Amino acid sequence: MTAEHDRALAPEQATIPPGHSWNRIPVIGAVCALLGIVACAILGAANPKQFYFSWLVSFLFFVSLAVGALFFVLIQYAAQGGWGIVLRRIGETTFAMIPVMAALFLPLLLGLRDLYSWAVPGAAEQDALLRWKEPYLNVPFFLIRAALFFGIWSFIALMYYRGSRGQDVTGDPGVSARLRKFAGPSIIVLALTQTLASVDWIMSLTPHWYSTMFGVYFFAGSFVGFIALLCVVAPAMRRAGLLDTVISPEHLQDIGKLLFAFMVFWTYIAFSQFFLMWYGNLPEETIWYRARMEGSWMTVSIFLMAGHFVAPFFYLMGRAVKRRNSTLALGGAWLLAMHFVDLYWQVMPTLHPDGIRPSVLDLAALVAIGGCFVAAASWLMRRQALVPLRDPRLAESLAFENA
Amino acid sequence: MPLLRPQLPTGPHYGILAEFATPADLFHACERVRDAGFTRWDAHTPFPVHGLEKAMGLRRSLLPWIVLVAGLTGAAGGFALQWWVHASAYPLVISGKPYFAWPAMIPITFELGVLFAAFGAVLGMFGLNRLPMHYHPLFKSKVFERVTDDAFFISIESWDPRFDSSATGKLLESLGARSVELLES
C-alpha cells in the first residue's frame, strides 16, 4: 500500500560521515582495551587463577555474541527473510569479530591447569571418571578442537562477510542465492560446533557433571545476547543520526519481539535443564546445581530468574516499549548485562565454591576484551556501508511494516 | 450482558453500503471517511489489507489486556490450586521432595497460563466483535455476497452523528464507489 517499494539507498546515506562522533569509538575502545590489558597484567600477576576465570567469563560473553550474530544472519539467509536486511550489517560486523576472539582465546591456554581440573597432569590417575573421559578430555585434543571451532566459525563468518561486502560493489543477486544455499548446512555445522565448544569451555569446568541440554542452553544465551546487543546498537545508531530514516520503529519492534521470544526460550531451556535434574535427584546431575543453590550463589540464582526472565517478561511485553529508541535500548542493555551474569554464574562457582566473590579482575577482563571487541567492530563500521546497499531484498526491508 | 448483545442501529435504516473495485480505492476512501469524522462505520474485505487500520483510524484493540489478565489468572490459579492440594489439603511426600515443591508446579502453572490466555484471546475476540450474531442487516444486500470473493465495501451506520442518508451516499460516490445502497434495519 505504500509507494516506497522501489526506494533505494545512496551510499552516503549509509556510512558514518566524516567528523561524526562515532568516528572516535575505535580510539576510545582501543584506550579501554589497553587500560584493561595493563590492569589484567598487573593484577593478574598477583592472582593468576582469578585472572584466568575472569578472562574466561568475558571471553565467553563476547564470543557468544559473535556466534549469536552468525546464527541471526544465517537464519535470515536460510529463510530468505526480507525484513531484517537493514539490520544485517550490524550482525555481519559482530560475527566478523570471531577471528579477534580467537586471538583473545590464547591467554586462556596458559591457564588450562588453573581452569580445568582434568587438565592437571595426573588428575586422571586418581579419578575413575576422569580416566574414562580422558580420551576426549585431554589437553592436546582440547587444543585441536578449539582450533577447529575457530577455524570453522571464521570460515563461515568470512564467507558471509566477504560475500555481503562484495555484493555492495557488484550488486550481483547471485551472491544472495549462493549464500542462501550454504546457510542451511552452515547452521547445522554451527549448532554442532557451538554445542561442543560450550561443553569444552564451560561444562568441563565441572568434569564430573552430566547434562544433555547444556549445548542448547549456551545457544539460547548467545542468541539472546546478540539480539540484546542489536537492541542497543540499532537505537543508538538512530539516536546518533546514522540510518535514522532507514531503521524504522517497525524494525525496532521486530527485534524487540525476537528479544522477548528468545528470552522466554532461554528461560524454558534453563528451567528444563534444572527441573529434570532437580526431580531426578541423581548426584552426577545435581552437583552443578548444588554449588549454585548454596550460600550467596543462591542469591545470584534467584537474581538470574528475576532479572533474566520475570522483569524483562513484563517489561518487553508491550508494543510501545519495543518501538521507541530509549525504551528498547534499556531492555537490550539490561538483558545484555543479565547474559553476562548468566555466564558469570556458570563459570565462577568453580573458582569460588563458597560464595560469590567479585574481583577487580572481572572488570579488568571485561574492559580489556570489550575494548578490543568494540574497537575492532567500530573500526570495521567506519570502513563499510552500514547496510547491505545492493541486496536484492533491501527495498522489501526498507518498506517493512508489522501487520 | 450488554457486551454480548448485538449492537445495531435502531430506526428504519441500518445505514449505507458502498462497494469499491480495488483495495487501493477502498484504502483511500477509508482515509477520507476517517477524515470526515465518521465514528460508526466499518470496512469489509475478502483478505487483510495492510495498513487499513491506520487508514480507518482505528484505536488499538483492548484484546491484549484481556489476554494478559486471563493468562495471569490462569497461572495464578494453577499455582494456587497445586499449593492448596499438595501443601495444605492433602500433603503427601513425593520422591522425597518438600510438600511445597514449587519447581514441580511450574509446568502446570505455565500450561494453565497458556490455556487461560488462549481462552481470553478467543472468547475476548468473540465478545469484542459481539459474536455470535445471528442477524445482520448487511446480509440483506445482494452485492455484499461478494465480500468473501472479490469486492471491497464500506458501511456507514445510520446512528453515526454525521450520517445523512443522501449526503453520506454522495460522499461515498465521490470517493469512487462502484455502487451505493441504503440498507433497511
More confident residue, A195 or B6: A195
Q: What is the mean pLDDT of residues A281-289?
A: 94
Give per-residue pLDDT as tens, B86-97: 999 999 999 899
Residues A91 and A251: beta-carbon distance below 8 Å:
no
Q: What is the pTM of this model?
A: 0.92
Side-chain half-sphere CA neighbours of A224 within 13 A: 31
DSSP B87: I
Report the pLDDT value the prediction gives residue B134, as an integer from 0 to 100: 83
Residue B135's alpha-carbon distances to A28, B3, B182, in angstroms, are: 70, 16, 17
Q: What is the mean pLDDT of residues B42-61?
A: 92
Phi, psi for B157 (deg, rounded to 5): -85, 155
Which residues of chain B neighbour A403 with C-beta distances below 8 Å?
Answer: 48, 50
**Distance in Å, alpha carbon of B50 to nearest chain A alpha carbon:** 6
Taking residue A41's Cβ as centre, other Cβ atoms within 10 Å add up to 12
Residues A187 and A71: beta-carbon distance below 8 Å:
yes
Residues A226 and A258: beta-carbon distance below 8 Å:
no
**Which member of B27, B60, B103 has the closest CB to residue A1?**
B27
A264 → chain B, closest CA residue: B110
- The number of residues in chain A equals 403
Give chain B's mean pLDDT. Answer: 91
Report the pLDDT value the prediction gives residue B135, as an integer from 0 to 100: 85
Residues B126 and B3: beta-carbon distance below 8 Å:
no
Interface test mutation site (partner A, options B47, B50, B62, max chain A beta carbons within 10 A): B50
Residues B51 and A402: beta-carbon distance below 8 Å:
no
Taking residue A280's Cβ as centre, other Cβ atoms within 10 Å add up to 11
What is the percent of chain B with per-residue pLDDT over 70, rounded to a whole number? 97
Residue A349's alpha-carbon distances to A60, A276, A337, in angstroms, are: 16, 21, 18
Q: What is the mean pLDDT of residues A36-47?
A: 96
Cβ of B51 within 8 Å of Cβ of A281? The answer is no
Report the pLDDT value the prediction gives residue B6, as an integer from 0 to 100: 58
The answer to whether A313 faces chain B, any CB pair under 8 Å, is no
- Residue from A12, A109, A9, A47 nearest A364 by CA: A47
Give me the domains of chain B, ranges plus CATH numbers.
Answer: 2-60+132-184 (3.30.70), 63-128 (no CATH)
Q: What is the mean pLDDT of residues B133-162?
A: 91
Residues A231 and A65: beta-carbon distance below 8 Å:
no
Determine the residue type at A378: S
Determine the residue type at A42: I
CA A129, distance to chain mean position in Å, is: 32
Residues A2 and A401: beta-carbon distance below 8 Å:
yes
d(CA A219, CA A69): 11
Which residues of chain A neighbour B60 with C-beta distances below 8 Å?
Answer: 319
Give chain A's mean pLDDT. Answer: 94
Residues A340 and A61: beta-carbon distance below 8 Å:
yes
d(CA B65, CA B69): 6
What nine digits make up the cell of A221?
Answer: 544465551
Report the sign of the C-alpha dihedral through residues B65, B66, B69, B75, in that order.
negative
Cβ of A271 within 8 Å of Cβ of B106? The answer is yes
Give per-residue pLDDT as tens, A292-315: 999 999 999 999 999 999 999 999
Taking residue A182's Cβ as centre, other Cβ atoms within 10 Å add up to 17
pLDDT over 50 at A1, yes or no: no
Q: What is the mean pLDDT of residues A244-273?
A: 96
Report the pLDDT value the prediction gives residue A23, as an integer from 0 to 100: 94
SS3 per residue for chain A:
CCCCCCCCCCHHHHCCCCCCHHHHHHHHHHHHHHHHHHHHHHHHHHCHHHHHHHHHHHHHHHHHHHHHHHHHHHHHHHCCCCCCHHHHHHHHHHHCCHHHHHHHHHHHHCCHHHHCHHHCCCHHHHCHHHHHHCCCCCHHHHHHHHHHHHHHHHHHHHHHHHHHHHHHHHCCHHHHHHHHHHHHHHHHHHHHHHHHHHHHHCHHHCCCCCCCCHHHHHHHHHHHHHHHHHHHHHHHHHHCCCCCCCCCHHHHHHHHHHHHHHHHHHHHHHHHHHHHHHHHCCHHHHHHHHHHCCCHHHHHHHHHHHHHHHHHHHHCCCHHHHHCHHHHHHHHHHHHHHHHHHHHHHHHHHCCCCCCCCCHHHHHHHHHHHHHHHHHHHHHHHCCCCCCCCCCCHHHHHCCCCC
Residues A223 and A254: beta-carbon distance below 8 Å:
no
What is the enclosing helix (H) or strand (E) of B108?
helix B102-128
Cβ of A275 within 8 Å of Cβ of B103? The answer is yes
**Distance in Å, alpha carbon of B100 to nearest chain A alpha carbon:** 14
Residue A83's alpha-carbon distances to A87, A255, A401, B48, B140, in angstroms, are: 9, 10, 8, 19, 42
Residues A308 and A342: beta-carbon distance below 8 Å:
yes
Question: Which bin fits A241, alpha (ψ -120 to 50), beta or left (φ > 0)?
Answer: left
Cβ of A317 within 8 Å of Cβ of B68? The answer is yes
Cβ of A1 within 8 Å of Cβ of B95? The answer is no
ipTM over 0.90: no
pLDDT over 90 at A7, yes or no: no
What nine digits make up the cell of B74?
Answer: 490462569
d(CA B147, CA A269): 46
What is the enclosing helix (H) or strand (E) of B76?
helix B63-83
Report the pLDDT value the prediction gives residue A14, as an integer from 0 to 100: 87
Phi, psi for A255 (deg, rounded to 5): -70, -30
